[in-house]
């Protein structure tokens, strides 16, 4: 059971996550790594618009200050 927010992220490493960003942008991908600023390294990442894949990116780095929500 997770006691701290980063414990949840640790459990999500190498699993697919949905990341909601400022401006109502969404990215889905496999969480490979993160840091204390909540910068996220995602692989097999795709932009999601209205529940559908719009753009496939591959590997991306999402800047932590744009993250609103991470859903494992």
For 4, 5, 7, 35, 54, the CA distances from 59, given in Å and listed in that order, are: 27, 24, 23, 16, 16
Confidence of residue 1 (pLDDT cuts 50, 70, 90): low
- How much is the pTM? 0.90
Across residues 1-6, what is the average pLDDT? 74
Domains contained in the chain, CATH given: 5-71 (2.30.30.100)
Tokens coding 25: 């942008």
């Amino acid at each position: 059971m997770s006691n701290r927010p980063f414990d949840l992220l640790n459990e999500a490493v190498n699993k697919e996550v949905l990341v909601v960003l400022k401006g109502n942008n969404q990215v889905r991908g496999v969480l490979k790594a993160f840091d204390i600023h909540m910068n996220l390294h995602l692989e097999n990442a795709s932009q999601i618009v209205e529940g559908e894949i719009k753009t496939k990116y591959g590997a991306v780095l999402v800047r932590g200050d744009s993250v609103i929500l991470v859903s494992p």
